[in-house]
Amino acid sequence: MTTDFLMAISFTGGIIAFIGFIWFLVEAFGENIWWGIGCIIPFVGGLVQLIFLIVHFQEVHKPFFMQLIGLAILIFPHFLLK
C-alpha cells in the first residue's frame, strides 16, 4: 500500500473522531452549559468528559464509540507501515 493511501485512511479516522468529539460536546452542552464548558477546558476536560460519560452513558454512548472507532482508524495505518 502506498503511504498516500495510508495517510488518507488516517486522515479519515481523524475526521470521524473529531465529528464524534463535536457530537459529544453538543450532548454535553445540551444537558447543561456547565457540562459543556467543563468538557472543553484544557487539562481537566478529559476527566469531566469521563464523568459525563459515566453519568449520561445512555445519551452519549454513540458519540463516544464514534470517537473510539475514529481513533482506531487513525492509528491502524501506522501499524501497516512497520
Per-residue model confidence as pLDDT tens digits over 50-76: 999 999 999 999 999 999 999 999 998
* Rounded-to-integer distance, Cα 79 and Cα 75, Å: 7
Please say whether the beta carbons of 39 and 32 come within 8 A: no
Domain interval for residue 49: 3-76
70 CB contacts (<8 Å, ≥6 apart)?
13, 14, 15, 16, 17, 18, 19, 20
State mean pLDDT over 18-31.
96
- Residue whose entry in the numeric block shows the C-alpha cell 459515566: 54
- Residue whose entry in the numeric block shows the C-alpha cell 469521563: 50
For residue 17, the surrounding DSSP H or E stretch is helix 3-31
pTM: 0.87
Number of domain units in the chain: 1
Per-residue model confidence as pLDDT tens digits over 31-52: 999 999 999 998 888 899 999 9
Could you tell me if residue 58 is inside a domain?
Answer: yes
Could you tell me if residue 8 is inside a domain?
Answer: yes
- The pLDDT value given to residue 1: 67
